[in-house]
């Protein structure tokens, strides 16, 4: 038997006897064989998943069978030329986003296959779709909800098909690849939006303004009994009222899953110390490069669903299907009210000017012990790798008593400008695409503004990352905003803070925010030093400056006495004078976005 066959055999053997029975009867392979709306996955007893051509075929078939409740649309094209498929599903008769907004209908967007090897969401989504339309699940939900279903987000990655694309995952037999054809990880791209697929998704988000977005994954990691984790934001971060709603939504879905026999978790089950169960877990708020970290900045709900890769595929599809149904039921019951609360959050967000707002979050050192449903395990040195390795015994369930750090607190703040940000004309082309991709409001300032009363951010030591990340060289900046009047030419961009997306504005334009345009390297050229003074010139300049300014001489001698490293570094000593000379580039270290406490004049 091959390694792959052995793994599949283990997958089937480890499927609990109750799991197959828990899959709705209509989902069995025999019942599905006669239904044109059944997936390859259903027909195979959830051992396989279909290729992407199936998505378009099924979308058209669902629309043909339910023309009054399903619209099959394309919302983009991938780099390899494949259509990105969307199904709009509702019994409200509303298939236009403007009309959905006018009527206050809750719109829920569910996406599968952002990591195309983790394809549970596609097969579970089509299964749930057929049952919901048939009245077998979430009865009446479509009367109150507009459901947007993207079966596969990473389409090109889906078609990079193979049996070993997810070696630590039990089924399906073959699956897609994690990244796109251009090697982008889409779940790191929500803010920088480099991938064409992400730009298409953000256009979809701008058009429909979904109240809730559900991102369907299968996690990696250790072996344990828990079969799914549900994480929601806002919950720790974002608008205070939406945090209450996020917690209520998460808890309701977890309760639904528990009643159906699952063992759900409210946090991502990744050990604090890699491969060491005793180290426990840490909760947190993801930066907005991730889906559920992004939507809180839009004053909307984001849910990350992670089934457990070690569970067999039939079990994972069943649990994902149950999650989808629960979400639809919760949105039907509460979505109209939550939508009104989200609109109120938009109004509150437009008043953030002058207030302190967190940019990043971190769990504190305080921990509490929790019971975690694991398996017996050993940790012994490996004669292959030489490392300490953990091995699990799935025949022996065991309750682990482990620490959970879930006291999540702000780790970085920024005070929002009272008016907004000003992007000088030379840098508008660097920043404008990001603003447009996210639907951030801005206007062009047509007239020059001499001596503009702005605040500027300067850094003396920009830190460029040593490695490429998602095609970018990341940048870290230390510094502070200080008043510094500057001449600003015509053509600058003014980005007001008084808009619903104010938190997203801060995330994009505050230079120290973890996923800002600066942090992702879009403005790196501004921090490259391009002019120098030769040492022999600097020697003469230094002597002239010392002769002309006794106070400077005193400062230099104190620095020599107090800083041995400086005293021993000829280049640093000459640089001391160069930075104080008119030849020094005054723009070096200047962040090319400014802050305003008053709007630009209208002229």
Strands (E), 461-518: 463-469, 472-476, 480-483, 486-488, 492-496
pLDDT band for position 231 (50/70/90)? Answer: very high
SS (H, E, C) 49-84: CCCCHHHHHHHHHHHHHCCCCEEEEEEEECCCCCEE
Task: Please tell me the class of the 3-349 domain.
Answer: alpha beta
Residue linked to tokens 């690849």: 177
Checking if the pLDDT of 10 tops 80, the result is no
Pairing of strands 212-219, 301-308: parallel
Burial 469-502 (b: 16+ CB within 10 A, else e): ebeeebbebebebeeeebebeeebbbbbbbbbbb
What was the pLDDT predicted at 287? 98
What was the pLDDT predicted at 380? 96
Whether residue 104 contacts residue 340, with contact meaning beta carbons closer than 8 Å, is answered with: yes
How many Cβ atoms are within 10 Å of 544's Cβ, its own excluded? Answer: 12
Whether residue 60 contacts residue 72, with contact meaning beta carbons closer than 8 Å, is answered with: yes
pLDDT band for position 221 (50/70/90)? Answer: confident
What was the pLDDT predicted at 438? 98
d(CA 471, CA 480): 28
Checking if the pLDDT of 88 tops 50, the result is yes
What was the pLDDT predicted at 149? 99
pLDDT band for position 22 (50/70/90)? Answer: very low
Q: Among residues of the chain, what percentage have pLDDT more than 70?
A: 94
Residue 30: CA atoms inside 13 Å, Cβ hemisphere, count? 1
pLDDT band for position 220 (50/70/90)? Answer: confident
> Across residues 320-332, what is the average pLDDT?
98
Provide the β-strand partners of residue 77.
83
For the chain, the structural domain boundaries read 3-349, 368-410, 414-529+588-596, 535-578
Checking if the pLDDT of 44 tops 50, the result is yes
- Pick from 397, 186, 409, 169: nearest CA to 282: 409
What was the pLDDT predicted at 29? 53
Residue 576 phi, psi (nearest 5):
-55, -40
pLDDT band for position 272 (50/70/90)? Answer: very high
Q: Express each pLDDT in 476-500 by its tens digit.
A: 999 999 999 999 999 999 999 999 9
Quick one: CA torsion of 62, 68, 69, 73, rounded to 10 degrees?
Answer: 60
- The whole-model pTM stands at 0.92
Whether residue 526 contacts residue 439, with contact meaning beta carbons closer than 8 Å, is answered with: no
What was the pLDDT predicted at 260? 97
pLDDT band for position 31 (50/70/90)? Answer: low
């Amino acid at each position: 038997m091959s390694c792959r066959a052995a793994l599949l055999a283990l997958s089937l053997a480890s499927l609990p006897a109750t799991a197959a029975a828990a899959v709705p009867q209509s989902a069995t392979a025999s019942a599905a064989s006669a239904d044109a709306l059944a997936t390859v996955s259903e027909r195979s007893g959830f051992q396989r998943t279909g290729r992407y051509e199936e998505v378009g075929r099924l979308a058209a078939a669902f629309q043909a069978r339910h023309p009054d409740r399903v619209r099959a649309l394309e919302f983009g094209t991938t780099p390899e030329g494949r259509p990105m498929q969307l199904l709009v599903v509702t019994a409200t008769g509303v298939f236009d986003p403007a009309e959905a907004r006018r009527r206050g209908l809750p719109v829920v967007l569910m996406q599968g296959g952002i990591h195309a090897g983790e394809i549970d969401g596609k097969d579970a989504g089509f299964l749930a779709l057929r049952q919901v339309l048939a009245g077998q699940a979430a009865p009446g939900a479509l009367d109150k909800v507009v459901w947007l279903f993207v079966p596969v987000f990473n389409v090109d990655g889906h078609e990079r098909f193979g049996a070993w694309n997810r070696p630590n995952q039990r089924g399906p037999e073959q699956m897609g690849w994690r990244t796109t054809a251009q090697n982008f990880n889409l779940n790191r791209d929500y803010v920088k939006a480099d991938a064409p697929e992400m730009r298409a998704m953000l256009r979809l988000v701008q058009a429909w303004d979904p109240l809730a977005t559900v991102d369907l994954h299968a996690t990696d990691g250790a072996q344990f009994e828990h079969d799914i984790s549900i994480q929601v934001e806002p919950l720790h971060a974002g608008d205070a009222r939406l945090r209450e709603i996020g917690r209520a939504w998460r808890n309701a879905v977890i309760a639904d899953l528990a009643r159906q026999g699952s063992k759900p978790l409210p946090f991502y089950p990744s050990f604090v110390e890699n491969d060491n169960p005793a180290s426990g877990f840490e909760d947190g708020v993801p930066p907005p490069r991730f889906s559920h970290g992004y939507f809180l900045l839009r004053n909307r709900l984001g849910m990350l669903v992670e089934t457990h890769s070690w569970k067999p595929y039939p079990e994972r599809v069943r649990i994902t299907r149950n999650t989808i149904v629960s979400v639809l039921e919760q949105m039907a019951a509460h979505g109209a009210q939550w939508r009104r609360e989200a609109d109120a959050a938009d109004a509150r967000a437009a008043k953030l000017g002058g207030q302190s707002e967190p940019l990043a979050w971190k769990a504190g050192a305080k921990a509490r012990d929790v019971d975690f449903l694991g398996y017996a395990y050993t940790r012994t040195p490996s004669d292959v790798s030489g490392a300490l390795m953990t091995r699990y015994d799935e025949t022996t369930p065991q309750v682990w008593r482990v620490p959970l750090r879930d006291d999540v607190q702000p780790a970085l703040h920024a005070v929002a400008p009272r008016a907004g940000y000003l992007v000088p004309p030379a840098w508008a082309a660097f920043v404008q695409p990001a603003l447009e991709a996210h639907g951030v409001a801005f206007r062009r300032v047509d007239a020059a503004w001499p001596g503009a009363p702005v605040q500027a951010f300067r850094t003396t030591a920009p830190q460029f990352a040593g490695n490429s990340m998602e095609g970018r060289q990341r940048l870290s900046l230390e510094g502070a905003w200080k008043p510094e009047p500057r001449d600003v030419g015509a053509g600058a961009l003014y980005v007001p803070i008084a808009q619903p997306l104010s938190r997203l504005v801060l995330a994009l334009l505050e230079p120290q925010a973890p996923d800002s345009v600066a942090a992702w390297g879009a403005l790196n050229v501004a921090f490259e030093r391009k002019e120098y003074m030769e040492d022999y010139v600097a020697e003469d300049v230094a002597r002239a400056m010392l002769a002309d300014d006794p106070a400077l001489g005193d400062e230099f001698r104190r620095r020599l006495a107090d800083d041995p490293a400086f005293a021993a570094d000829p280049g640093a000593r000459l640089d001391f004078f160069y930075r104080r000379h008119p030849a020094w580039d005054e723009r070096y270290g200047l962040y090319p976005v400014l802050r305003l406490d008053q709007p630009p004049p209208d002229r």
